[in-house]
Amino acid sequence: MTDAPSEWRPLHWTGESLVIVDQTALPDEERLVECRTIDDVAAAIREMRVRGAPAIGISAVAGLALAVQGAAREGGDWRRALSAGEALLASTRPTAADLFHGLQVARERVASAVDAAEAAHLLGQLVLELLDRQWAIDRALADYGAGLLRSGTRVLTHCNTGALGTGAFGTALGIIRRAYELGRLEHVWVTETRPRLQGARLTVWELRRSGIPHTLIVDGAAPFLLARGEVDAVLVGADRVAANGDVANKIGTLGLAVAAERFRVPFYVAAPLSTFDPETPDGNAIPIEERDPAEVLRVKGTWIAPADTPVRNPAFDVTPHWLVTALVTERGIIPAPDRRKIANFLAANGRGTSVEPGETGRDER
Ligand SMILES: CSC[C@@H](O)[C@@H](O)C(=O)COP(=O)(O)O
């Protein structure tokens, strides 16, 4: 059950469709898009109309619900529709662990369904449950994270990790919101986050709505502000946390982590347990999505370089765990994360098995 029924939410399940706030239209327009089929959902994820790892995960489950509803209506084989749907969704944004976590939770939910109607009903219920649960997860994570920040903190954040990114309260931006509620936050530095400008377009939009003081900077300005002592903490989200604590997040995160360590500023990563992937041993094994070169060559439709310029456009980078001061989750904080601490933390919270002391550690610098 949500504790804030009147809170603005960017994802809405009608029972027959998923209605999303189109994140490609923000901040110019608060446009709603209704996804009525799994193809609509897959396209919305791929085109980043809905984005942010937890929001992608919940949307994927909604996509499966729509696929199974379709099979129920047309008398098709719902298990086949489910498998095809999983394959389609898995191909959309391969880095986000929450997507695969969502697919797995959905599969488990319908494992003993007797027919398409029952499976469709169970998946619809699951979408509503996940939306509610995400609110509780985000709020708990925000409380833990805000506990790390002392009064008067100036935070730097990257990309968008707010309500738009989770469908609820936000992860790193949720911590910022909570710290502000508690009177601990002085200022937020927002990196613009090339090429898709999630910081400039989305995080600024959310901070304005919440009345939180902020300043936008170009990505390249961040190390300078860290060097000048104008940042007390860097706070980012994650798309996947590997078993050893390496973190995939929006391209540019690694540079922030390196600069933060060099200038002795704590670097915190906020991620719900659904973003942890114990099956991925380390950062090298995380699949990194490469996106369309046009994202780099054009800004808001305007070409900024010749159209045939060679481009490399990785959407994410990997920060090694030894640059992470602490991981913040909804179940608590993992300081100086390493393989053993993460395995034990996940085991204590019902995922995976624990690791003995000394087996592996924070030794891979
Ligand atoms: C709560 S959102 C966490 C992450 O998904 C976020 O930090 C991020 O990198 C989003 O990337 P995006 O490509 O915009 O989906």
Q: Give one DSSP letter per residue of 124-188, joined into a string.
A: HHHHHHHHHHHHHHHHHHHHHHHTTPPTTEEEEE-S--SHHHHSSS-SHHHHHHHHHHTT-EEEE
Chain-centroid distance of CA 277 in Å reads: 13
Q: Residues annotated in the binding site, as ranges?
A: 51-53, 93, 198, 249-250
pLDDT of 273 above 60:
yes
Atom of ligand 1 nearest to the CA of 51: 15
pLDDT digits (tens, 9 = 90+) for 200-218: 999 999 999 999 999 999 9
Task: Give the pLDDT of residue 148.
Answer: 98
Residue 358: its pLDDT value, please?
56
- CATH classification for the domain delimited by 11-136, as one of 1.20.1050.10, 1.20.120.420, 3.30.1360.120, 1.20.120.1810: 1.20.120.420
pLDDT digits (tens, 9 = 90+) for 303-315: 999 999 999 999 9
Compute, in angstroms, the gap from residue 351 CA to the centroid of ligand 1.
23
Residue 50 has pLDDT above 50, yes or no: yes
In angstroms, rounded to a whole number, what is the distance separating the alpha carbons of residues 158 and 312? Answer: 20
Residue 279 scores a pLDDT above 60: yes
Centroid of ligand 1 to alpha carbon of 197 (angstroms): 12
Closest CA to 239 of 273, 195, 275, 281: 275
**Which atom of ligand 1 lies at the shortest distance from residue 171's CA?**
1
Round the average pLDDT of the chain to a whole number and report it. Answer: 95
Phi, psi of 3 (to 5 degrees): -95, 5
ipTM of the complex: 0.99
Which protein residue's CA is at the shortest distance from atom 12 of ligand 1?
Answer: 52
Q: How far does the centroid of ligand 1 lie from the alpha carbon of residue 249, in Å?
A: 7
Cα 33 from Cα 12, distance rounded (Å): 10
- For ligand 1, the distance from its centroid to the CA atom of residue 227, given in whole angstroms, is 26
Alpha-carbon gap, residue 196 to 164, rounded angstroms: 14
Q: How far is 206 from 350, CA to CA, in rounded Å? A: 33
- Which atom of ligand 1 sits closest to the CA of residue 237? 7
- Model confidence over 4-28: pLDDT tens digits? 546 789 999 999 999 999 999 999 9
Q: Does the pLDDT of residue 160 top 60, yes or no?
A: yes
* pLDDT exceeds cutoff 60 at 360: no
The closest of 146, 166, 163 to 274, measured between CA atoms, is: 166
As a whole-number percent, the residues of the chain with pLDDT over 70 amount to 95
pLDDT at 352 over 90: no
Q: How many residues appear in the chain?
A: 365
Domain boundaries, the chain: 11-136, 140-348
Say if residues 153 and 125 touch (Cβ distance below 8 Å).
no
Which residue's alpha carbon is at the smallest distance from atom 1 of ligand 1? 161
193: left (phi over 0), alpha (psi -120 to 50) or beta: left
pLDDT of res. 1: 41
**Residues 158, 256: contact at Cβ < 8 Å?**
yes
- Annotated binding-site ranges for substrate: 51-53, 93, 198, 249-250
Largest CA distance in the chain: 65
Whether 140-348 and 11-136 are alike in CATH topology: the answer is no
Ligand 1 binding pocket, CB closer than 6 Å: 51-54, 159, 161, 165-166, 171, 198, 237-239, 249-250, 315
CATH of domain 140-348: 3.40.50.10470
Q: Give the catalytic positions in this structure.
A: 239
